[in-house]
Structure 1
Amino acid sequence: REALNKLEQEGLVQIIPKKGVMVTGLTLTEINQTFEARLLLEPFIISNYMDALDDQMLQKVEEETKRLLDAEPSPPDFCRLDDYFHRQISAACPNRYFKEMLAHIYDQNQRIRLFSGRDLWERHIQAHREHLELIRYLRNGQKEEAVAALTLHLIKSKEAAIKTLIEKAIPVV
Structure 2
Amino acid sequence: MIFTETPVAGAYVIDVKRIGDDRGFFGRLWCEKEMADMGLVSVIRQSNIGVSPQAGTLRGLHYQTPPHQEVKIIRCPRGAIYDVVVDLRPESRTFRQWFAVELTAGNSRMLYVPEGCATGYQTLVDDTEIYYHTSEFYHPECATGVRYNDPAFGIEWPLPVTAISDNDTGWQDFRAPEAHQGERT
Q: Which has the higher contact order (CA 8 A, sep 6+)?
A: 1
> Do both proteins adopt the same fold according to a TM-score greater than 0.5, normalized to the shorter chain?
no
Give the TM-score taking structure 1 as reference length.
0.28
Structure with more of its chain in strand, by fraction: 2
Structure with more of its chain in helix, by fraction: 1
